[in-house]
């Protein structure tokens, strides 16, 4: 990839295929993941991502760099995905009714804790988590369980944890790309990470 965004833009506008291919490799998988939050199938998400690249090409000459290229590409995606979702009669994510902060979802099941009215230890661990063995953490099977746990998350949580923790985006980049408030970004990340930890627990405790 070109050293600076300005250089990259020049290369793209000059028709440099390698520069475009590198950009596609960098962002396409994330575009599909984010699109998956809006549309109902993997195939539609793939179509939306491909359509996004056409939108990027169409707008490239007018792109003024007021936001980063990444942010701009993901905005185009969000618009196309929303239009597609509406056309397919889908409810959009993060609508008022689906505000994640409104529906509590505990990080750890209530049965793991003593009662909040317990005379001595209210809300304390009833069953404490046991430390995970270091060698099991690195096992290929742990990796598979982890990937499965992420795959099983609701699409919005899956998108947030993938961008933040797999791809290492900042919370601000994720907020911009997914059009999330700071609170919702953190609530979704918290739920995603908590569920993934919980999914690893039964397996790693026996390891």
- In the complex, which residues of this chain contact other proteins (CB under 8 A)? 15, 17, 20-21, 24-25, 28-30, 46, 49-50, 53-54, 57-58, 106-108, 110, 113, 116, 122-125, 128-132, 137, 142-143, 146-147, 150, 161-162, 165-168, 171, 186, 189-190, 193-194, 196-197, 200-201
SS3 assignment, position 113: strand
Q: How far is the CB of 127 from other proteins (least distance, A)?
A: 9
- Cβ of residue 46: shortest distance to other proteins, in angstroms? 7
- CA 97 from chain centre, in angstroms, equals 20
Query: What is each CA distance from 71 to 36, 56, 86, 145, 153, in whole angstroms?
Result: 18, 12, 22, 31, 24
Could you tell me the smallest distance in angstroms from the CB atom of residue 129 to other proteins?
A: 5
Closest alpha carbon to 27 in 62, 85, 57, 71: 71
The CA angle 205-108-145, to the nearest 5 degrees, is: 45
Measured from the CB atom, the residue of 40 and 171 that comes closer to other proteins is 171
Which CB, 85 or 192, lies closer to other proteins? 192
Nearer to other proteins, 146 or 155 (CB): 146
Cβ nearer to other proteins, comparing 79 with 125: 125
* Nearer Cβ to other proteins (91/121): 121
What is the C-alpha to C-alpha distance for residues 175 and 170, in angstroms, rounded to an integer?
9
Q: How far is CA 191 from CA 7, 49, 92, 104, in A?
A: 39, 26, 20, 10
Q: What would you measure as the largest C-alpha separation in the chain, in angstroms? A: 73
Q: How far is the CB of 89 from other proteins (least distance, A)?
A: 26
Q: How far is the CB of 57 from other proteins (least distance, A)?
A: 4
3-state secondary structure of 64: coil
Minimum CB distance to other proteins smaller for 98 or for 167: 167
Could you give the angle at which helices 42-59 and 17-35 cross, rounded to 10 degrees?
140
CB of 1 to other proteins, least distance (A): 15
SS3 12: helix
């Amino acid at each position: 990839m070109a050293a600076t965004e300005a250089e990259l833009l020049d290369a793209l506008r000059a028709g440099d295929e390698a520069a475009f291919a590198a950009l596609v490799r960098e962002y396409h998988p994330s575009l599909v993941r984010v699109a998956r939050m809006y549309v109902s199938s993997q195939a539609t998400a793939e179509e939306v991502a491909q359509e996004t690249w056409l939108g990027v090409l169409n707008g490239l000459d007018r792109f003024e760099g007021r936001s980063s290229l990444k942010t701009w590409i993901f905005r185009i995606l969000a618009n196309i995905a929303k239009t597609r979702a509406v056309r397919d009669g889908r409810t959009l994510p993060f609508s008022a009714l689906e505000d994640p902060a409104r529906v509590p979802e505990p990080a750890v099941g209530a049965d793991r804790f003593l009662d909040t009215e317990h005379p001595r230890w209210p809300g304390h661990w009833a069953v404490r988590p046991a430390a995970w063995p270091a060698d099991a953490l690195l096992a290929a099977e742990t990796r598979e369980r982890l990937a499965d746990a992420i795959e099983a998350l609701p699409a919005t949580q899956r998108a947030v944890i993938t961008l933040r923790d797999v791809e290492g985006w900042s919370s601000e980049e994720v907020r911009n790309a997914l059009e999330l408030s700071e609170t919702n970004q953190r609530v979704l990340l918290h739920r995603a990470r908590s569920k993934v930890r919980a999914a690893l627990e039964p397996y790693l405790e026996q390891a």
